[in-house]
Amino acid sequence: MTAPETVESTSPPTPPAPRKALAIIFVTVFIDLLGFGIVLPLLPRYGEAFDASGMTLGLLMSSFSAMQFLFAPLWGRLSDRIGRRPVLIVGLAGSTFFYALFGIATSLGKDGTMLGLGVITWLFITRIGAGIAGATISTAQAYIADVTGPKERTKGMALIGAAFGIGFTFGPLIGAGFVWGADPTQPPPMPGYVAAFLSGMAMLWAITSLPESLSTQTEQLTTHGHGLNQLRRLGSALSKPIIGVTLMSSFLTILAFAQFESTLSLLTEHLGLDLTWNFLIFAYIGLILTVVQAGVVRRLAPKLGEFRMAMIGVTTLTVGLLLVGLTGLAQSLALLMAVVPLTVIGFSFANPSFQALLSLNSAADEQGGTLGIGQSVSALARIAGPVIGLSLKDLHISAPYWVAAGIMTLAWAMTWSLKSRLQAPRNSQPEQTA
């Protein structure tokens, strides 16, 4: 009679996902991506207004992802120790502060200074700070992993993608609205203030309503084995058969998609589209991301499983990138609008599936750290992708997409190799990453 009690105490069943808690997590990630989407399209205009060189502007645009690369694992590991809730609240507080500071900095004018520092320096400070605060997405993923069962894991992770899609839809539209008709020599500060206000509201909501997701048992387990540095943890993760291949497949997929994202505005310019049309196309992409990840992926994932979803994703993304490359040759807006959904749908299938595979194959007390490593790998791909894509653009407007398709061919092969690894007999405990 004691056996059932022992099993229950060591492996408690996963409670149903509280809708309110998941809603707050969704809003948290959405706000991070909304602020990113508001600010990112404005940075080239800021560069022109404040006389930043191309190199300076490139560093400014990559600083956000660079900070996510460095800090996502640290936030994830910290959330394993002290809980998800306090880490998420601190992240929202940081986003509120640095987006407000971004608005203040842009109001200084070209020759303005604050505390002896020029505008460009302050812009770097705000983007670095926002990147650190926004690196708590890995903690949001760990929260979802805490409150969802294995069969619901991919559906839960798709919430992250849906938040990304909605933020990527409305962020550029909001940003475009605030710069429309503005003096090009003085970028308006309102986009930063709007992002700060929304982050502040999400922070207050989290403080008053967000419950902690870590159980007492998990918190006790996480007090051990956290002394290894991040470099060693990454090496350890890559050495695991499933975790390592999943991380590399995810890296290649995001690297290819980042090339598409960073060069798309140049492709639309090649097609003769003005800035307004460019914003609308990015909003179109965000809308597809939202619909697919919030609706299609959440319904198909329990039926198909993580591996099949990932394979469908990498295959579709590869074909989509090849066709986008052909768009550059054909110079056809109609063709671009027709093939862009393939690229976005492929990414929408693959990305949450890889995140779910990382979570499902990690020990309960290691999920925050493992997903943090996954976010760092993602950030590294987003740093490298634009550099590769923009360099290849000088060869031919279609070169970034064809090279990205080649990268996806390698990602396809690596993802396919997961089939035998997932089917191989292994211990009931998921892979440890440290």
Banded pLDDT at 368 (limits 50, 70, 90):
low
Q: For residue 150, what is the DSSP state?
A: G
Tokens 């800090």, residue? 71
| 36-40, 265-269, 415-419, 423-427: segment of lowest average pLDDT | 423-427
- Using only the alpha carbons of the chain, give its radius of gyration: 21
pLDDT, position 295: 77
95 phi, psi to nearest 5 deg: -60, -45
Look up residue 414 and give its amino acid.
M
Asked whether 317 and 281 are in contact (CB, 8 A), the reply is no
Q: Which of 247, 262, 231 is nearest to 62 (CA)?
A: 262
* Residue range 17-217+230-417, CATH number: 1.20.1250.20
pLDDT, greater one: 401 or 184: 401
Q: 3-class DSSP state for residue 192? A: helix
With bands split at pLDDT 50, 70 and 90, how would you rate the model's confidence at 267?
confident
pLDDT at residue 235, rounded to an integer: 57
Domain ranges of the chain: 17-217+230-417
Provide the β-strand partners of residue 114: 117
What average pLDDT does the structure give for the chain? Answer: 77
Q: What is the pLDDT of residue 236?
A: 60
Rounded to whole angstroms, how far apart are CA atoms 380 and 114? 32
Question: What are the two backbone dihedrals, phi and then psi, of residue 362, each rounded to the nearest 5 degrees?
Answer: -115, 150
Q: Over the stretch 119-128, which tens digit does the pLDDT of each residue have?
A: 889 999 998 9
pTM score, two decimals? 0.68
Q: Please list, residue by residue across 302-321, b when 16 or more beta carbons sit within 10 angstroms of its beta carbon and e when fewer do.
A: eebbbbebbbbbbbbbbbbb
Residue 431 · residue 241 · CB < 8 Å: yes
Give the pLDDT of residue 12: 45
Q: Which residue has the higher pLDDT, 224 or 5?
A: 5
Q: Would you say 164 and 289 are in contact if contact means Cβ atoms under 8 Å apart?
A: yes
pLDDT of residue 15: 45
Closest CA to 140 of 27, 308, 244: 27
Exposure string of 206-239, with b = 16+ CB inside 10 Å and e = fewer, is: beeebeebbeeebeebbeeeeeeebeebbebbee
